[in-house]
Each structure stands twice: as structure tokens, then as C-alpha cells.
Amino acid sequence: MMLRYFILTSCPVKCSNLKPNPQIMNSFGGSWTIDKMEIVVAYAQAYLTIMNKQAWVKTLYFDGFAGSGHIDNDPPESEDVIKGTALRILEIEDPKSFDLYYFVEKNKKNKNLLEQTIKDQFPNKSTFIVQGDCNQKLESMADYLKKNKQFRALAFIDPYGMSVNWKSIESLKDAGVDLWILVPTGIGVGRLLTQTGKIDDLWLNRLEIFLGMDKEDIRKHFYKRQSSFTLFGEENWIEKEKGAIEKAGILYQEKLKTVFKYVSDSFAMRNSMNVIMYHFMMATNNKAGLKIANDIIKPNYKL
């Protein structure tokens, strides 16, 4: 009954080299996409090695933005196809596979492509492919995990912009989940934080929902008051703090620590101008998981 509640409207389908590669470019951000995938796959293999020693544990893999299954959306027969994270995770057999896979994709075309690929290539794995909103499904998963203690989940959240609400992340508190999340600190938060502090109400509302903070706390965190004396008296103004993007990454780590016991180092993803666009990090309640995540990030990815 609880599994049915978690799945909601979904239909079941019965079905390392860790160095960044700057040569591989694609429509989803160049080598970043490959780097994220290699990190998650490496972590999943280590995660399953640990879980394989605990016979009573059932494992669940959750992908909140699963895509079509292929990074460039070309048909599988194309020589240029790069398998996406969903298919790479499904390929893992050693030391074991996940017991259950749950893929969320909002785009109907991508959802159908992924569903068909999984049906063709992984007919014997217990997979659920759902067209829906990641926020809702995260909260459903959290409820399911809290009521089914034998399940442990590895979740990968690679969102479109600032589409993940803090309320959804907060719902994972006390759930048996390890969470890898891409945080759009530069391309999202940084762009909404204007230099003068005059932020459009819609932007400010988006920041509040994304960060789980009210507007006054956001202003206090990212802005400072400046003043100077001129011929005509004192002048005061508000100015954005230097290093606001880095501050956003640290802030999100600290926010995650209110939900999880441990949060990994961040992989800072930079553009060709060396500006940080994203921070990629992992949150867990398991100290061993923290060590694994940091061991993966530090040698090749921490910038």
C-alpha cells in the first residue's frame, strides 16, 4: 500500500575514470554533465558495496530530473550518443543493482524516450518512470522512506534552474537518503542578486522559496550597508557582498546541515571565464557516505 502511495500515478516498467573531460561538450553544459555523472556513478558503486553487506536493506535510486536517457537526445544508434546518468546507474550490476529505480521527468517527450529505452534495455529491473514535478515526488519519497525503514535511497537532483524548493529538501529530514544535488549558485542565485539590492518581487519570491529564507534574511546575508561623508553630508547605500556566489554555496551547505548530519565538500563548476555557475554537493546521515563523497570530489573535481 505504501509503495503504491509513493508511486502515485506512475506505471511500472517490468522491465573509472574520474578525471574531468574538457573535450566532451554537449547541449547541457559541456564537461559539467559528464563530471556530475561520473561522480554520481562512482558514489553509487561504493554505496551499493556498503549496502550489499546489509542483507535486510532494500535500495532505491531516485532521479528527480532524469531526462531522456541520453545526454544529447540523439537516437540510441547514433555514434555520438552519450548515455545519461539514469542508464549508467541502471547498468551497475557489481556488487549489486538497486532494488528499485524511480525516475521523474517533467517533459513528456523525454519521459517517453527514457521509458522506451529502459523497457528495451533493462526489462528485468524494477523501474518506475513518472512525468511530474520533482518537488512533489521528493516529498512523497520522504514520506515513504520514513514509513518503510528497510529502504535506503540514493537521490540525484540535477534541476533546471532554481526549480527545487527548500521545503522539498527539508522534507528529507530523518529519511534514509543520501542526496547529491546541483545548486545553481551562480547561474541562479547570483543572477537574481542585483548589485544595488533592488530585486524584483518575483525574483525575491523565487529566492525565498529556493533558499527557505525570508527576504530580510536574504538581504542581511548577501548585502551590506555602506556610507561615506561628502560635502553635503553622509550618503548611505546598499551594496552586494563580494564573493556572493561563494557565499551562496556555503549558505546552501549550512542549510543542508539542518536537514542532514553531514554535507560534503563542493565541486564548484566554472565557466570559461572561471566564474562559478554551480556547486555540486552531497548530504547524508552516514559518516561513511561523507568520506566516500569527499574522496571522490577532492582528487579531481574540487576547484
Maximal CA-CA distance, the chain: 79
> Residue 48's Cα: distance from chain center in Å?
19
The CATH number of 2-184+243-300 is 3.40.50.150
Q: What is the pTM of this model?
A: 0.86
Q: What is the pLDDT of residues 74-133, one digit of tens each?
A: 444 444 568 899 999 999 999 999 999 999 999 999 999 999 999 999 999 999 999 999
Q: In this structure, are residues 142 and 175 in contact, taking their beta carbons and an 8 Å threshold?
A: yes
Domain residue extents for the chain: 2-184+243-300
Single-letter amino acid, residue 4: R
- Indicate the length of the chain as a whole number: 303
**Which residue from 67, 62, 75 is spatially nearest to 28, judged by alpha carbons?**
67
**CA atoms of 101 and 255, how far apart (whole Å):** 27
pLDDT tens digits along 49-82: 999 999 999 999 999 999 999 886 444 444 456 8
- What cell was used for 289? 557516505
Q: What is the dihedral of CA 91, 97, 100, 101, to 10 degrees?
A: -20
| The three three-digit cell numbers of residue 45, written as one number | 558503486
